[in-house]
Amino acid sequence: MKCTRRNIVKAGLLGSAFVALPAVARALPGLATKFRDQFYVGTAVSARSLNAPSGAFAATVAHQFNALTAENAMKPALLQPQMGEWRWQDADAIVKFAEQHKMLMHGHTLVWHSQTPDWFFQNKQGEPADKATLYRRQEEYINAVVGRYKGRVHSWDVVNEAEDEGKGWRKSHWYNICGPEFMERAFRLAHAADPKAHLCYNDYNMHLPQKREFLVKLFKDYIKRGVPIHGVGLQGHVGLDYPSLDELEKTIVAMADLGLKVHITELDVDVLPAPWQLASADISTKFEYDKSLNPYVDGLPDAVNEQLSARYVELFKLFIKHQQHIGRVTFWGVGDGDSWKNNFPVPGRTNYPLLFDRNLKPKPAYNALMALKL
Ligand code: XIL
């Protein structure tokens, strides 16, 4: 008899406790099962954590979530660090994992001012590239990436963060070289490369009234002119007391009124003191480390843990209220230990923004969400 796990079990070679335990764990519903009638529940991962030898991370992801985003692996700087030098390995591994576990794969992100290599925007002399060159690169890039994953990646963040904190178009290389048309062109190219893909615009601070107004006006025009935009991603990098649920709700309703599907794409709740007035998620923002900004190195006090649970509950109640408009709620990571929030916007802090702790154990906030009445 071959020494497979099934044969070992059949032959009674394993103690019953060992066999029974994983079965019991599997029988407990995870987040995706809990909210299966409301929306997909996703997370962002790296190929490295999925491949971690213990397998605990991969098992948690497969059990708790039914949608997957690559936290970094599908960004231009990671996919094509040098002109013509493609690195597909990590992105391929993540897409494969999603397929193996029947998860919805979301692609993040095609056009962005951050994590796009300098060469993309430069000519051979290192000066700013001209519009024709940048447009050619945009087309080649979108065709290569969307084409490679056609039919396997269900949805794309076609453009990320093109609006600047309520001030209108961000003066990025994209905007400065091409003008605002770089955005609709990206949507048209992505649609041509995979006509069935669900195409999204993604941004942070979408609750800001000026940002909302700017984007509503833009998308209205897109829809009128047949620019293929199907959804909008509200990143959801929030804090314990910002933004207000009212403002967030206004944006969900405004986007849904346009006929766009709404997604919460990068949810985490920062529990640490904010070093700023207006919270941003622009990844180039940095503040210096100061001990006073890092108060919970030895653990999160119960009172703050309760606040965190309450915040997650009120956010989910809002999402549930608008479930007919919401396609997917994706957390930006699994366990607190791997969260980008330990290093943003202040490096080297101990943050607690997610539903699982540093050992991937569900936190009170997880239990609170699992106990919600639907
Ligand atoms: C972050 C990743 O989590 C980090 O690992 C990386 O160093 C910087 O980018 N908005 C986005 C995401 O759209 O791509 C960013 O992800 C977080 C802010």
For residue 237, which atom of ligand 1 is closest to its CA?
Answer: 18
For ligand 1, say whether the CB of 283 is within 6 Å of any of its atoms: yes
pLDDT at position 20, please? 32
What distances in angstroms separate CA 346 from CA 35, 45, 114, 287, 299, one per listed residue? 33, 22, 18, 5, 18
Q: Which residue numbers are catalytic?
A: 266
User: How far, in Å, is the centroid of ligand 1 from the Cα of 17?
Assistant: 41
**CA angle at residue 353 from 352 to 357, to 5 degrees?**
50
Which pLDDT belongs to residue 103?
Answer: 98
The more confident residue out of 2 and 99 is 99
Residue closest via CA to ligand 1's atom 10 equals 281
Measured CA distances, 294 to 38, 192, 291 (Å): 36, 47, 5
Question: So what's the pLDDT on residue 5?
Answer: 36
Beta bridge partners of 104: 67
Is any atom of ligand 1 closer than 6 Å to the C-beta of 71?
yes
Residue 2 confidence (pLDDT) above 60: no
What is residue 26's predicted lDDT score, i.e. its pLDDT? 58
Q: Of 156, 154, 171, 142, which is closest to residue 80 (Cα–Cα)?
A: 142
Would you say residue 278 has pLDDT above 90? no
Tokens standing for residue 145 = 């990436």
Percentage of residues in the chain having pLDDT higher than 90: 87
pLDDT of residue 16: 32
What one-character-per-residue DSSP string does 290-332 give?
Answer: -GGG-TTTT---HHHHHHHHHHHHHHHHHHHHTTTTEEEEEES
Span 40-50, mean pLDDT?
98
Is residue 203 lining ligand 1, measured as CB closer than 6 Å? no
Q: Of all protein residues, whose CA lies closest to atom 18 belonging to ligand 1? A: 281
For residue 32, the number of C-alpha atoms closer than 13 Å in the C-beta half-sphere is 19
Percentage with pLDDT > 70 across the chain: 93
- 21, pLDDT greater than 50: no
Q: How far is the CA of 13 from the centre of ligand 1 (A)?
A: 47
pLDDT at 317 over 90: yes
CA of 279 to the centre of ligand 1 (A): 15
Beta carbon of 281 within 6 Å of any ligand 1 atom: yes
pLDDT confidence tier of residue 27, bands split at 50, 70 and 90: low
pLDDT at 25: 53
pLDDT tens figures, 222-277: 999 999 999 999 999 999 999 999 999 999 999 999 999 999 999 999 999 988 77
Q: Relative to the CA of 333, which ligand 1 atom is closest?
A: 3
Return the SS3 of 265. strand
pLDDT at 321: 98
The pLDDT assigned to 284 comes to 84
Q: Which ligand 1 atom is the nearest neighbour of the CA of 75?
A: 14
Q: In the predicted model, what is the mean pLDDT of the chain?
A: 93
Chain segment 84-106, per-residue pLDDT in tens: 999 999 999 999 999 999 999 99
Residue 7 pLDDT: 38
Residue with tokens 């529940």: 41
pLDDT at 128: 96
Residue pLDDT, tens place only, 131-184: 999 999 999 999 999 999 999 999 999 999 999 988 999 999 999 999 999 999
Residue 215 has pLDDT above 70, yes or no: yes
Contact 240, 310 (CB under 8 A): no
Question: Residue range 197-202: average pLDDT?
Answer: 98
Q: Is residue 23 predicted with pLDDT exceeding 80?
A: no
- According to DSSP, residue 163 is labeled B
Minimum CA distance residue for ligand 1 atom 5: 340
pLDDT, tens digit, 9 for 90 and up, residues 319-344? 999 999 999 999 999 999 999 999 99
CA of 224 to the centre of ligand 1 (A): 32
Q: 155-160 and 104-111: which strand pairing?
A: parallel
